[in-house]
Amino acid sequence: MSGTIDELRERAGELLATIGTLRGSIASILSAQAAQLTALYRLEVRRTVTAAAFALAASFFICAAAVLAVLAIVLALWDTHRVLAAALSAAGLALLAFISFLLMRSCTRAPAYPRTLR
């Protein structure tokens, strides 16, 4: 009878050691997942700030292009070379606004997340 009690105590000790190992494994998995989620959160914040900066640049260039387009129309009455310069300046700023828009759009697209979160 004492042999079975000692056997049971030994098995209980092994079971407790296994449970402790399992607990450690689960804790390390949860820690890795939390670290990955934190990194993804920081990435999203960085993408949002970048998109806001590009949106601000695009709005500035669009406003500047509109002012220069109006200036080109006003100058059309005086001298064609000034008009060409203002029109080219407006076109250049409009091109910069379009490039800023495309960069903002590429920054706001969802990234390909690692497969471990799916």
Residue 117 lies in a domain: no
Residue 11 lies in a domain: yes
Residue 32 lies in a domain: yes
Total of domains in the chain: 1
Instruction: Look at residue 114 in the predicted model and tell me its pLDDT.
Output: 61
The domain of 32 spans 2-112
pLDDT along the chain (118 residues), means of 10: 76 87 90 90 90 88 80 67 74 84 82 60
Instruction: Look at residue 29 in the predicted model and tell me its pLDDT.
Output: 92
Round the CA-based radius of gyration of the chain to a whole number and report it: 32
Instruction: Look at residue 3 in the predicted model and tell me its pLDDT.
Output: 63
Instruction: Look at residue 71 in the predicted model and tell me its pLDDT.
Output: 77
Residue 7 lies in a domain: yes
Residue 118 lies in a domain: no
